[in-house]
Amino acid sequence: MAYAAAKAALLSVVRNLAKELAPHVRVNAISPGPVLLPESFSSQEGAQHAERTLLGKLGTPEDIWEAVQFLIEGSYLTGVNLKVDGGASLV
């Protein structure tokens, strides 16, 4: 419950800051899916997380970097929450 509440609050802050700071500042968020798993996870646990995505694999730091670049270069984007989760949020 605490995680869900914190995430909802963060997304609300992004939307409200985008409204308050426009047009001089753009505010966006990235919601990553399974990318860097804890070192304590077994390969089986990693595979289970990968299976919970539509793409059937874990993301990489490069996937997140590509999303950051997209948001930086997209001068008409503000108030966006970009999910970089391999479709995990759709499962």
Q: Is 88 exposed, middle or buried (0-12, 13-18, 19+ CB in 10 A)?
A: buried
Which residues lie across from 84 on neighbouring strands? 32
Q: Confirm whether 3 is a catalytic residue.
A: yes
Strands 81-84 and 29-32: parallel
Q: Is 79 exposed, middle or buried (0-12, 13-18, 19+ CB in 10 A)?
A: middle
Residue of 1, 2, 3, 40 with catalytic role: 3
Positions marked catalytic = 3
